[in-house]
Structure 1
């Protein structure tokens, strides 16, 4: 069926419709997908950037709460006065020896510090160390002791801060853990500040503690929700990991190393443990110097895009299926009458008469009109095609016969002249030999049995011609014929080789002899070839140009060349090869440094 052929009209229409639909759909969906993916990407990046900024601000707020408590203590003259009173008291080393006034001072100082902490408990414990060795704590634990602040590990760093805050690492508080079971597994972050007297002299250090869970509550809450599997890391300015403050996740250093090597943020990096690609957004707090990293896997980040892609793909597939079915229906509707017309064309038989037959209405007027016009044309064509074929056949036969029967009158004239000269000189044997060859040649060219002969017969005729020329020109003519045995039996057009040799003689005698003619026949792959070569002056340029023009005219018009009375000529040979072998013919001319060469040929018959 026509539908099964990939070159059918229906197939072409269907494929054209389908291609247009697919391209339009792909371009639309692709553009929409590209736009939406960019928007989703931008929204995701903005979201993670805003989240990192928001969380960093919350951390700053928690630290600011603690710092506000230390500032209120540092600027409270009442607290400083009470500390000076305690420092001036005697026998404060043993609680049992405290006097009622001393206990009252400690209680009053503790109450002032509790008031500084406030009802929101922005710090879990507030401790003051003076340089006289006194330490008083309030909040979770009320305690007054004598301690040497100079022995603390954080002392030098706080003193060098000259009143600025110093934030410690999250770590357990053994003192609180021993006093309260609730604080046993708790981590605390301490904020330290030096406080000064009225003359700017350092008098002691304020330490405010808050549990890490409270400070990092915003991060902990987000992680517990686990909605997007985000992870958070916090490092201080020294590169110490502050969050997570417990557990085994200690990969924060890797993320911050990657940040240092990148110029743009957020950045994509590979998780050092899972190898999964992740997006990391950073924010550096100017208040605390803490660097917050928000980490989310690329897969999770683009989950909305993936869902959108799946939905878009399903919709696109449904549209494509519908439109392809529609295109199939449209192609079938258009090509059904064409298929009927095709069936009618296949039934054409120019030997008989086919009556016009109107097709059933296909709904496409142009195709129905085309079918009717074609069948009317077929009827008219039959009345003349037989006459045309017969006339053309007769014309071709007549032309081939005329071409085959030509013989150069100069050759006959010169041969008869040669015979008369030889008779005067008493060369009876040579005359007999010449007449035999001439008779053989005339018999060959006048035979009407066939226009196709064996290559061996054509070579015999050519040899007879050359022998006649040899008798006439004696030592001035040298020739050699080399033909492989496998060529002798192949059929070729009659009188196709001798005219090439005659053409060589025609041009070679204009130069001083001896004249050499070489005929070579051979097989090249699946074709036979005959090459005729001479050592003459070659074909004059004007005649060569005229031959090329005539051949071009023949190729363009496909009309037979006019006959010439002065010999067959190379153009006639070209035509006969063209008529016999079509595009498989071989006809090449080669100008040599000394002489002329022409090669003809055609395909070997199966």
Structure 2
């Protein structure tokens, strides 16, 4: 499993929580706002459809009212003769025009009123006032109205230049046709009331101008599937809009569709007019409806980004405030050594979290307790080493006593009282040196002075058979060494170096190198046998594997005893060698490396 740092985990947790809250709020806000906008826009579209229908129906109804009033006007029937011949005089044309204007009212419910007979003439009043032959393009509508038995017939929008002063700028009209009957109720002609499309669809046009760019698309279809509005567009656009005609058969007032033109999601408000048969479709793309939400969402995302940036900073500082003290504590632990336990006070570091402060206090308490324990352990270890050294030293004493007493006995038997006196004096000094257990460490000078007295005693014993020399560099005489560290080596040199024909010579010399110093004790005897070296090596390995004092025995302790005591004293700086010289004589060396070199 891949591990992560505590700071990265805390940072991720804090930042993740902030992101979750901010994005949850953003999603909730967007969904809530979108639903509110959709409901508001659809309600507005339904209201718009109702407004468009009311205004358009009112305009068509006005045309219908004018046609009905003309049809039932007795004055019109009086002016015209019974044969309903529209080839009338100028006075009759003026009277009929005034009549139509009065019936249209002051608001001019119809821009143009045309009265057709079945003999091919039309009486026009309004934008154009005259009597002329009927245009063949009107025959279809005249025939339809004639066969409608008095019901209104509403045309689709059409453009014409007939009612304009200039033939270059046609205008769009919608006409309402109705059959005209005489006083006997027989159909003798057709009434056409016409009005400009810009007046009929005034509310729609005004809405589109007012909301240019964001206005909903308004389409009006009649029962035949003809596009009534918009009316002044090209055939290609009309064909595209006609794809929406299928929605007129829906039984739902609000429809969600995929635009057949743009392939975008759109909302459609649908309304049918029972009077005109028109179906009003108000269509708005979802992108337009939700445009305020998108704009607000961008602002919200900017705010969220700002909050996230702040969350990153806050999360980083929070995680760092927790992790930094932990890292500080880690560095303290890494720097800590046995010699520096308890010296660095971690409780002085500022911590802002109670749990971390408790951790610091617990660590400080542990460090102090560990320091006390180590102090006690070191003291106990020093006492143990001192006790072991004194115990090893005490093992040497009987050994030397035995040899010294043997020498005095021989001198006394020979009657050499002066030598016995001098021998006893040296022995007394030697005994005082040995029995002074207050100090287990002496200088090399003191140790060599003791060895010299010891060798004198041995010289007295062996006379001319034993010779000795001590040549140690003056700079080494102040080096500290364990008491009785050289004497056992000299004693063994005399013991095993005399295993040949005399004279025997014991030499004590020193060597100083750049990194170490050592004392060499050399004899002129036959040297170490292979068996003896294996035995000594085995005893030393046993001592290393099983630290402690060797078994208490008067003889045979020299080499192992010296190694064990010198090892306790020098630790890793020890130099201890034994073997034979190039001439085959025995040599034992003790020394130590200088501390700086040992550390390297």
The TM-score range, normalised by the shorter chain, is: 0.5 to 0.7
What corresponds to 1:109 in structure 2?
A: 96
State whether residues 341 and 370 of structure 2, in contact with CA within 8 Å, keep that contact through their aligned partners in structure 1: no
Q: Deviations over 1:68-87 (max 9, x none)?
A: 211221222222222235x3
State whether residues 357 and 372 of structure 1, in contact with CA within 8 Å, keep that contact through their aligned partners in structure 2: no
Q: How does 1:89-238 map to 2 (within 5 A)?
A: 93=87, 102-131=89-118, 135-145=122-132, 152-173=139-160, 175-176=162-163, 180-181=165-166, 184-197=169-182, 200-225=185-210, 226-238=212-224
Secondary structure in structure 2 of the residue aligned to 1:192: strand
State whether residues 152 and 176 of structure 2, in contact with CA within 8 Å, keep that contact through their aligned partners in structure 1: yes
State whether residues 84 and 188 of structure 2, in contact with CA within 8 Å, keep that contact through their aligned partners in structure 1: no
Worse overlay, 285-294 or 227-236? 227-236
Where in structure 2 are there 5+ consecutive unaligned residues?
378-600
State whether residues 271 and 277 of structure 1, in contact with CA within 8 Å, keep that contact through their aligned partners in structure 2: no
Counterparts of 1:110 and 1:36, CA distance in 2 = 59
Counterparts of 1:280 and 1:132, CA distance in 2 = 48
Q: Deviations over 1:451-485 (max 9, x none)?
A: xxxxxxxxxxxxxxxxxxxxxxxxxxxxxxxxxxx
Q: TM-score, normalised by structure 2?
A: 0.55
Q: Deviations over 1:230-257 (max 9, x none)?
A: 3332221101122232332212210112
Counterparts of 1:13 and 1:230, CA distance in 2 = 52
What corresponds to 2:598 in structure 1?
A: none
Cα 1:115–1:261 shift into 2, 3 Å: closer
Counterparts of 2:91 and 2:30, CA distance in 1 = 75
Displacement of 1:375 after TM fit?
A: 3.7
Instruction: State yes or no: 1:303 paired with 2:291.
Output: yes
Counterparts of 1:212 and 1:88, CA distance in 2 = 31
Counterparts of 2:272 and 2:37, CA distance in 1 = 26
Counterparts of 1:288 and 1:264, CA distance in 2 = 18
State whether residues 236 and 242 of structure 1, in contact with CA within 8 Å, keep that contact through their aligned partners in structure 2: yes
State whether residues 168 and 191 of structure 1, in contact with CA within 8 Å, keep that contact through their aligned partners in structure 2: yes
Q: Deviations over 1:379-436 (max 9, x none)?
A: 546859x99xxxxxxxxxxxxxxxxxxxxxxxxxxxxxxxxxxxxxxxxxxxxxxxxx
Equivalences, count: 370
Instruction: State yes or no: 1:243 paired with 2:232.
Output: no
Where in structure 1 are there 5+ consecutive unaligned residues?
388-606
What corresponds to 2:74 in structure 1?
A: 77
Cα 1:46–1:261 shift into 2, 3 Å: closer
Q: Deviations over 1:344-374 (max 9, x none)?
A: 3334557985546233232444423322322
Cα 1:317–1:151 shift into 2, 3 Å: closer
What corresponds to 2:30 in structure 1?
A: 33
What corresponds to 2:278 in structure 1?
A: 290
Worse overlay, 137-146 or 373-382? 373-382
Worse overlay, 352-361 or 102-111? 352-361
Q: Deviations over 1:500-537 (max 9, x none)?
A: xxxxxxxxxxxxxxxxxxxxxxxxxxxxxxxxxxxxxx
Cα 1:227–1:353 shift into 2, 3 Å: closer
State whether residues 129 and 149 of structure 1, in contact with CA within 8 Å, keep that contact through their aligned partners in structure 2: no
Secondary structure in structure 1 of the residue aligned to 2:304: helix
Worse overlay, 256-265 or 283-292? 256-265
Q: Deviations over 1:159-202 (max 9, x none)?
A: 3433221111222335435xx21784112211011244555443
Counterparts of 1:150 and 1:307, CA distance in 2 = 53
State whether residues 7 and 323 of structure 2, in contact with CA within 8 Å, keep that contact through their aligned partners in structure 1: yes
Q: TM-score, normalised by structure 1?
A: 0.54
Select the structure of larger CA radius of gyration. 2
